A and B are shown apart, each in its own frame.
Chain A
């Protein structure tokens, strides 16, 4: 089946139209907006489900932990995994920066004198302590790790030239005799 826009886009086909077969774009989109990589390679349904689920997990974490959930100064490994959610992680990071500025803590102070920054954050009710901190960072971090899996999936499918959903396995009748 030929589409005027995309060329040969036979439903359930594995042949990728030229514009839908650039792995670096699939990689970048999959990182920037969770699920966008799958939409790019023609798997719209999967992309929407991935976007909704990863967004819900990340923002559930942010709702529980508040502005300090994404804390790149003190929780670096959590921060790395949270940044894998792309735009969500970047927004969370900016929320943290804005919160630090609002309580008068510069990024340099937060890095060099964390105890002073902690004190000021606690006074403002922004400090993230256990168990809320653990749960909030786990939610946002797991969202990022799940997106890493989706990034790899979109990248590999793009490298393989897969476009759209693959054909379902044919129903085979058991051999007689």
Chain B
């Protein structure tokens, strides 16, 4: 049977998987700020700031865990 979207899984290379956290973070930030913000006009800026915080936090967490795994006795 021919390949169909939403039916057959796609094969994701491992190198791509890490980058998929970016659109997920954007989605989380958009919904969270849509619920929380007082003024929707400020939404794009607030989303951008929150995405920055999330990605920076994940990067720091990842770096910390990498260092622990590499150098912990």
A99 is an interface residue with CB less than 8 A from chain B:
yes
B73 is an interface residue with CB less than 8 A from chain A:
no
Query: How far, in angstroms, from A6 to B32 measured CA to CA in the complex?
Result: 29
A100 is an interface residue with CB less than 8 A from chain B:
no
Given contacts A131-B17, A132-B12, contact A54 B39 (CB under 8 A): no
Query: How far, in angstroms, from A166 to B40 measured CA to CA in the complex?
Result: 11
- A67 in contact with B34 (CB, 8 Å): no
Given contacts A146-B27, A168-B38, contact A128 B9 (CB under 8 A): yes
Residues on the A chain within 8 Å of B39, using CB? 168
- A149 in contact with B31 (CB, 8 Å): yes
A59 to nearest B CB, angstroms?
7
B67 is an interface residue with CB less than 8 A from chain A:
no
- B8 in contact with A125 (CB, 8 Å): yes
Q: Which of A20-62 contact B (CB under 8 A)?
A: 45-46, 49-50, 53-54, 56-57, 59-60, 62
A155 to nearest B CB, angstroms?
12
- A66 in contact with B27 (CB, 8 Å): no
- A139 in contact with B24 (CB, 8 Å): yes
Given contacts A135-B20, A166-B38, contact A146 B9 (CB under 8 A): no
B28 is an interface residue with CB less than 8 A from chain A:
yes
What 1/0 flags go to B3-21 for Cβ under 8 Å of A?
A: 0011111111010010010
- A131 in contact with B6 (CB, 8 Å): no
- Nearest A-chain residue to B3, judged by Cβ: A125
- Nearest B-chain residue to A65, judged by Cβ: B9
Query: How far, in angstroms, from A135 to B5 measured CA to CA in the complex?
Result: 16
The residues of A with any CB-CB pair to B shorter than 8 Å are 45-46, 49-50, 53-54, 56-57, 59-60, 62-68, 95, 99, 125-129, 131-136, 138-139, 142-143, 146, 149-150, 153, 165-166, 168-169
